């Protein structure tokens, strides 16, 4: 036993002697560090030689973006932040959207800065003026919706008040990966505080989400917070524009209504919303939908873009909590998003991706990841000079090239 211990001690001493001076105290030059990055890094940076990133390598951030725990690194600055909100205990039907952020990030793995050029926007959003980070996830409790709402409200406020890198922005922009749709309420709270005025919303969804909580009746007293009432709550908190000349917009609606009449629509109209039904696209095409949105929202007012993946037909996005037949195709939604790039987007979310209900091909998460890419492209392009008047021009271009 003593001999074994002696041999082990000698071996350790020899290893220490052999390795003890290996790079100890070495001051690495930038050129040496750049060489290591070129040799072992995953990205090709600034045209330098390096190891090309592939979809199956690297830590799972969105589109292989730099990952920073922004909430615990207050000095980290960005122009656009991707943030996950893995929360789904405000749903009214199938749960599972808490796994949405992870699923969307995984589905974005073939997006890279090396091959990120968007032909329709004529830019690569990942290598342009904007500093874009993946800020990880907001820690949200699944045990108490009241606390969860407080956590998300505080996190969005913290992230939205950060100083942007670019001097062209007054505030950074946040794109949230959901998570159920209720997260739009805390996001709007943060934006109202950041911009000091109510906002307008462009809401892609099969459902209104402006229902009074009483439309979810229960004998038991409970919180009003749910994924079908958050815009009603936002309106009552003064977060949304209530000026009739500056309404918000729903697009892709096809939900059933309460009772035996159009009272839900009347309530929605009273809350200052304009509605575009899913089957309106059969009459006016994608160009008509784009034109209605741009004519209503314009290019100057701050707009929050909220995209529930169930705006798509379940044939294209089955992985969601409240699927409704008769929705838009993925191509139609993307075409519309490309036509509204002139909007002044100050924040966005892509929500209600529940991967447990999608097929092995990950079609729902892939659609969501592409939607995020399109939104990023529009945000970055809007930040370039001369972009402010292109909204209606885009609608005309879509009409001229309408594929439907």
pLDDT at 36: 87
Q: Is it the case that residue 158 has pLDDT exceeding 90? A: yes
Least confident of 54-68, 199-213, 286-300, 348-362: 54-68
Residues 6+ apart with CB under 8 A from 260: none
Q: Is it the case that residue 48 has pLDDT exceeding 50? A: no
In a domain? residue 13? no
In a domain? residue 26? no
Closest CA to 85 of 15, 184, 168: 184
Q: For residue 206, give its domain range.
A: 58-400
Q: Region 119-126: what's the mean pLDDT?
A: 94
pLDDT at 47: 45
Q: What percent of the chain clears pLDDT 90, i.e. is strictly above it?
A: 73
Q: Render pLDDT for 237-276 as a digit per residue (tens, 0 to 9).
A: 999 999 999 999 999 999 998 889 998 999 999 999 999 9
Residues 6+ apart with CB under 8 A from 278: 206, 252, 253, 254, 311, 326, 327, 328
Q: Is it the case that residue 396 has pLDDT exceeding 50? A: no
Please say whether the beta carbons of 320 and 357 come within 8 A: yes
pLDDT at 96: 93
* CATH at 219: 3.40.800.10
The pTM score is: 0.86
- The count of domains in the chain is 1
In a domain? residue 368? yes
In a domain? residue 139? yes
pLDDT at 25: 79
Is residue 363 helix, strand or coil?
helix
pLDDT at 391: 41
In a domain? residue 361? yes
In a domain? residue 32? no
Residue 76 is encoded by which pair of tokens? 């980290």
Closest CA to 94 of 320, 364, 327: 320
Q: Render pLDDT for 90-103 as a digit per residue (tens, 0 to 9).
A: 888 899 999 999 99
In a domain? residue 310? yes
Q: Region 310-329: what's the mean pLDDT?
A: 97
- What's the mean per-residue pLDDT of the chain? 88
> Which position has the higher pLDDT, 50 or 355?
355
Cα–Cα distance measured from residue 399 to residue 404, given in angstroms and rounded to the nearest whole number:
10
Q: Cα separations (Å) of 397 from 332, 364, 391?
A: 15, 28, 10
């Amino acid at each position: 036993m003593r001999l074994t211990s002696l041999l082990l001690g000698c071996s350790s001493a020899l290893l220490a002697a052999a390795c003890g001076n290996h790079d100890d105290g070495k001051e690495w030059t930038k050129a040496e560090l750049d060489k290591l990055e070129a040799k072992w890094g995953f990205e090709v940076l600034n045209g330098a030689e390096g190891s090309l990133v592939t979809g199956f390598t690297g830590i799972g951030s969105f589109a292989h973006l730099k990952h920073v725990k922004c909430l615990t690194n207050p000095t980290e600055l960005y122009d656009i932040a991707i943030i996950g909100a893995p929360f789904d205990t405000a749903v009214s039907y199938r749960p599972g959207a808490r796994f949405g952020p992870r699923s969307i990030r995984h589905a974005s793995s073939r997006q890279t800065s090396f091959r990120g050029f968007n032909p329709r926007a004529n830019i690569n959003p990942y290598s342009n003026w904007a500093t874009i980070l993946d800020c990880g996830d907001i820690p949200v409790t699944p045990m108490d919706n009241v606390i969860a709402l407080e956590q998300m409200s505080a996190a969005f406020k913290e992230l939205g008040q950060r100083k942007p890198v670019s001097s062209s922005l007054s505030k950074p922009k946040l794109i949230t990966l959901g998570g159920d749709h209720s997260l739009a309420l805390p996001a709007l709270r943060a934006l109202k505080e950041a911009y000091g005025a109510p906002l307008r919303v462009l809401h892609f969804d099969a459902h209104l989400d402006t229902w009074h909580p009483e439309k979810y009746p229960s004998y038991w007293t409970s919180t009003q917070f749910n994924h079908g009432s958050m815009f009603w709550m936002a309106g009552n908190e003064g977060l949304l524009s209530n000026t009739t000349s500056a309404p918000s917009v729903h697009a892709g609606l096809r939900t059933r209504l309460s009772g035996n009449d159009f009272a839900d629509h009347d309530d929605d109209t009273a809350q200052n919303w304009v509605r575009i039904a899913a089957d309106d696209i059969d009459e006016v095409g994608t160009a008509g939908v784009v034109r209605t949105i741009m004519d209503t929202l314009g290019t100057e007012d701050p707009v929050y873009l909220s995209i529930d993946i169930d705006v798509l037909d379940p044939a294209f996005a089955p992985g969601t909590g409240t699927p409704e037949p008769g929705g838009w195709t993925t191509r139609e939604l993307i075409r519309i998003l490309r036509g509204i790039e002139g909007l002044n987007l100050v924040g966005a979310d892509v929500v209600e991706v529940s991967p447990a209900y999608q097929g092995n091909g990950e079609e729902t998460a892939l659609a969501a990841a592409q939607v995020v890419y399109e939104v990023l492209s529009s945000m970055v392009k809007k930040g370039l000079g001369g972009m402010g008047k292109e909204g209606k021009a885009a609608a005309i271009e879509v009409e001229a090239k309408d594929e439907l």
